[in-house]
Amino acid sequence: CNYLRSLSLPKLIEKEGISIYKQLTRYIEGLLDQYSDRELKKPVLAKFDKKFFNKMLKDFDQFILSYIQAYTFQQGFQPGGKNTILVFALNLRQFTTILRESDSPEYSELLYINQGKIKILCKSAAPKLEKQVAGFHSVIMQSATLFPLDYFQKMLGYTSSAQKIQYPSPFAQQNRLYLLMPSLSTKFEYRRESYDQIAVTISKAVNVKYGNYLAFFPSFSYLKAVQREIETCSLSVELLVQDRKMSERKRKNFLRKLKDPDKKYLLLAVHGGIFSEGVDFTGDMAIGAFIIGPGLPAYTKEQELMQEYFEFKWKKGFEYAYRNPGMMKVIQAAGRIFRTSTDRGFVMLIGHRFSTPYYKSVLPTDWKIEQPPDLIKRVQTFWMNKNANLNEGSKGNELAKPESYQKKYPKTVDLFDFMEKL
């Protein structure tokens, strides 16, 4: 209300906007009044009034037209896309549009009592995507992280008849070292016992070869605990630590530091964050990654609802709500090291769960994971091997063809020739 008053709008328009805002706040307050404990942190299931929000949207659309006219008259130009009122209007429209479909089992309506917030949770977009995919003659999806294939086939709305093909990495095998350290548990109840051992292992491996390294943790609290232990170790590089609320400016500054040829760093970050996805650490920007635990989503009300849905839909509740999303973060984090045919480095998987069939089954099949008795000695021999063929499996810019490809898929082998000409 105070924001609307500060805009110096014509009184009639200001009054209209304040009236709509008060209607919405009264509605949410009415939902909250059903609960005596206003500090309850866990969201609760609710049912939102579709008629109320449809009327709210209609009234707000009329207000927006008047607001834009008044704003343009006062300022001499129309409000931009980041205008607070327009952003709220867009959010209200999106919320109401989704609410109209929320009776399907793919959605849950939630009330966050301690935050005074309402939310519609989409547990799966598969039915929506299936309709979109069905509208095309042919749809091809490809990515280095669409694994396991059966999981993504369902989540992306493909039918069981869709063809699935998995290719090995085009990068030379001897340039990629995958190590497993299964001797400790990264489960929440055992984490305190792992801090020192993880810190010592990371420090020793980093000190083998001067360069930039990445370490990914399942949570900020875990990261901070291991950071304190690492700071007591002798380290040949400087530390960079991701903040819980890191600005884009600071993130870019970290990436600039990793490109500095004169200084090297160990970057501590979290799974699924701003450094583990969508960033190319090419060349010497990163030559090793430590992945601590499978990065499972936190146990929240939202994840519990997703688990219930996937169990009901496919009898794979924990796999689809926790294991697969967590392991996808692992694959994405590991992929930061190998971005070009000349990149050489190692990935160290830390935690007992990586050694179990339940988790190993969702790792890429071309990861030749080693479990040597002495991890650090294996890292040393890897870097001492100066005869690695940096271009094996990827001559120039050509795509590497799997050995069995022509036997298994003879009718589509020309796909590679076509892609090479693009």
| One domain for residues 317 and 405 | no
81-90 residue pLDDT tens = 889 999 999 9
| One domain for residues 275 and 421 | no
pLDDT of residue 386: 64
| One domain for residues 232 and 314 | yes
| One domain for residues 147 and 184 | no
Residues of the domain holding 302: 173-384
| One domain for residues 350 and 398 | no
pLDDT of 16 over the 50 cut:
yes
Q: Poorest-confidence range of 55-69, 174-188, 360-374, 388-402?
A: 388-402
What percent of the chain stands above pLDDT 70? 91
| One domain for residues 47 and 84 | yes
| One domain for residues 135 and 215 | no
| One domain for residues 198 and 298 | yes
pLDDT of residue 34: 87
pLDDT of residue 9: 84
Q: At what angle do helices 220-230 and 195-208 cross, to 10 degrees?
A: 60
| One domain for residues 260 and 336 | yes
321-330 residue pLDDT tens = 999 999 999 9
Q: What is the DSSP string of 108-145?
A: EEEEEGGGTEEEEEES--HHHHHHHHHTSS------TT
Measured from the Cβ of residue 82, the count of other Cβ atoms closer than 10 Å reads: 7
What integer is the mean pLDDT of 338-359?
94
Give Cβ neighbours of residue 4 (< 8 Å, ≥ 6 apart).
Answer: 14, 17, 18, 21
H or E, element range at 223: helix 220-230
pLDDT of 415 over the 60 cut:
no
The enclosing domain of 320 has a CATH number of 3.40.50.300
How many CA atoms does the CB half-sphere of 49 hold within 13 Å?
Answer: 12
Q: What is the mean pLDDT of the chain?
A: 88
> What is the radius of gyration, based on Cα positions, of the chain?
26
295-320 residue pLDDT tens = 999 999 999 999 999 999 999 999 99
pLDDT of residue 2: 80
| One domain for residues 42 and 77 | yes
175-195 residue pLDDT tens = 999 999 999 999 999 999 999
Number of domains forming the structure of the chain: 4
| One domain for residues 253 and 376 | yes
The enclosing domain of 7 has a CATH number of 1.10.275
| One domain for residues 44 and 144 | no
pLDDT of residue 387: 56
Question: The whole model's pTM is what?
Answer: 0.83
Of the pLDDT bands very low, low, confident and very high (cuts 50, 70, 90), residue 46 is very high
119-144 residue pLDDT tens = 999 999 999 999 999 999 999 998 87
Q: Poorest-confidence range of 30-39, 81-90, 206-215, 225-234?
A: 30-39
Q: Nearest-CA neighbor of 225 among 292, 137, 303?
A: 292
What integer is the mean pLDDT of 96-110?
95
